[in-house]
């Protein structure tokens, strides 16, 4: 039997109108259809890493936290409880998910050796070891105990520290303590957290 488009729409309209009469509740079906994608996510509060305004964000991750499940970020939004941005984000912050889920994102340490034309993957342990050795050598080679007038200086002008805007006050406190103990005087970060 052929069914015209008009007949089909009529039948569908009558059918859906008749569902409640037949004892079917359409409310649950509509509620299911409108469930938000963040309904079953884990919320993690963080800070937008892009600029010194340091807006608060909520990162929504899906996954049941089992050992063999890789959590998947499905949404990032402004944190309405954050005193700086109160839920708002600028266009850059609104695109934060593209920063998290990006095939070009660097997930491991790399080094480009002197004279080399390419970056080499190294382990975290190797990166820590090499950084520590270079910091020690640079400090020892450049340490100034007294300035030209004979005043005690105890500093190295060859090392600088720069931090990111997601660094907390506590982290920066430790950074300053550590860097000052090495004699590093050039410190800056954009953290206002
Ligand atoms: S959301 Fe925009 S204004 Fe806020 S910290 Fe990120 S880049 Fe800066």
* Residue 144 within any structural domain of the chain: yes
39: how many CB neighbours lie within 10 A of its CB? 8
Averaged pLDDT of the chain: 88
**Ligand 1 atom nearest to 91, measured from its CA:** 2
Instruction: Specify the pLDDT at position 51.
Output: 86
- Kindly report the pTM of this predicted structure: 0.65
Count the domains in the chain: 3
| Ligand 1 binding pocket includes 57 (Cβ within 6 Å) | no
Structural domain harbouring 116:
110-189
In three-state form (DSSP H/G/I as H, E/B as E, the rest C), the secondary structure along 39-77 is CCCEEEEEECCCCCCCCEEEEEEECCCCCCCCCEEEEEE
**Ligand 1 atom nearest to 50, measured from its CA:** 7
Are 133 and 84 contained in the same domain?
A: no
Distance between Cα 37 and ligand 1 center (Å): 24
| Ligand 1 binding pocket includes 89 (Cβ within 6 Å) | yes
Where does residue 184 rank: exposed (0-12), middle (13-18), buried (19+ CB within 10 A)?
buried
* Residue 105 within any structural domain of the chain: no
Q: How confident is the model at residue 191 (pLDDT cuts 50, 70, 90)?
A: low
Q: How confident is the model at residue 16 (pLDDT cuts 50, 70, 90)?
A: low
Judge whether residue 13 has pLDDT over 70.
no
* Residue 146 within any structural domain of the chain: yes
Per-residue pLDDT reduced to its tens digit, 34-65: 777 788 889 999 999 888 888 999 999 998 77
Of 80, 77, 79, 88, nearest to 37 by C-alpha is 77
Residue among 93, 94, 96, 164 to mutate when testing ligand 1 (max atoms within 8 A of CB): 93
Judge whether residue 122 has pLDDT over 90.
yes
């Amino acid at each position: 039997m052929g069914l015209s488009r008009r007949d089909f729409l009529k039948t569908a309209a009558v059918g859906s109108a008749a569902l409640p009469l037949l004892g079917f509740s359409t409310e649950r079906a509509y509620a299911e259809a409108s469930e938000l994608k963040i309904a079953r996510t884990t919320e993690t509060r963080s800070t937008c890493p892009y600029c010194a305004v340091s807006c608060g964000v909520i990162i929504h991750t899906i996954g049941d936290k089992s050992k063999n499940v890789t959590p998947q970020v499905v949404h990032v939004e402004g944190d309405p409880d954050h005193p700086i941005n109160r839920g708002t984000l600028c266009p850059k912050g609104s695109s934060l998910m593209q920063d998290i889920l990006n095939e070009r994102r660097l997930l491991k340490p790399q080094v480009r050796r002197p004279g080399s034309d390419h970056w080499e993957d190294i382990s975290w342990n190797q990166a820590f070891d090499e950084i520590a050795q270079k910091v020690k050598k640079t400090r020892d080679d450049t340490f100034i105990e007294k300035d030209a007038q004979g005043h005690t200086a105890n500093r190295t002008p060859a090392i600088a520290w720069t931090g990111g805007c997601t660094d907390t006050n506590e982290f920066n406190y430790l950074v300053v303590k550590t860097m000052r103990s090495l004699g590093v005087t050039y410190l800056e970060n954009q953290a206002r957290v």
